Copies of this chain bind each other. A is one copy, B any other.
Amino acid sequence: MQLLEDRIKQDGVVIKNEILKVDSFINHQIDVDLLNKVCKYLGEKFQNIDKIVTIETSGIPFSIGISQVLGNIPVVFAKKSKSLILNSENAYTSEVKSFTRKSNSLIYIDKNYLHENESCLIVDDFLAEGNAAMGLVDIIKQAKAKVAGVAIVIEKEFQGGHKRLEEAGYHVESAAIIKGFKDNKVVF
């Protein structure tokens, strides 16, 4: 999506040829006009979705926008647990390795909010190695619900998450696909 790629070129900050910061329009300050357009672009690529599933925090705003495009379907966001042991029999849980933080975290969704056979669209702001998305896939499968696809705002293709999810059989769409970083600039 040209509009988003142009914005990343203009306002994204690449650190050490490794990390892309988009704090000024996606992750800390949110450009809601851009968000609406990205959500329209992504939402129109999927049909017959019952529910959107994301992870707190940055996936939430785009989940709301995509839900609006898909008829205001419910959004469920997985919460991050502070401990790796969760005192609850009422939640589906999965362990997720964080790329940026080099640590694992436990995510969970209350069993009341995912149901058998529901068609779920996974939404997130970033796709790197695909760990967060695979954690959500894991949780959706535990609920015997269906993964209808994965909608991503910014994909770092070179980290392999897209390929990994497609090889697992899932339809992935990204609004911007980054091929790599060179001289602290983004290559599309």
Contacts and interface: CB of A to CB of B under 8 A. Distances in A.
Interface in A16-46: 23-24, 28-33, 35-36
A48 interface: no
Q: Name the interface size band of chain A.
A: 20 to 34
A31 B32 CA distance: 19
A6 interface: no
A110 B76 contact: no
A24 B72 contact: no
B77 A112 contact: no
A166 interface: no
A6 to B, nearest CB: 18
- Copies per assembly: 2
Nearest to A25: B74
Nearest to A74: B29
Contacts of A32: 64, 67-68, 72-75
Contact of A60 (B23, B61, B109): B61
B23 A110 contact: yes
A116 interface: no
Interface in A38-86: 56-57, 60-61, 64-65, 67-68, 72-77, 79
A70 B33 CA distance: 11
Contact of A76 (B28, B72, B75, B79): B28
Contacts of A67: 30, 32
Interface of A: 23-24, 28-33, 35-36, 56-57, 60-61, 64-65, 67-68, 72-77, 79, 109-110, 112-113
18 contacts: A23-B110, A28-B76, A28-B110, A28-B113, A29-B74, A29-B75, A29-B76, A29-B110, A29-B113, A30-B77, A31-B74, A32-B64, A32-B74, A56-B56, A57-B60, A60-B60, A61-B61, A64-B65
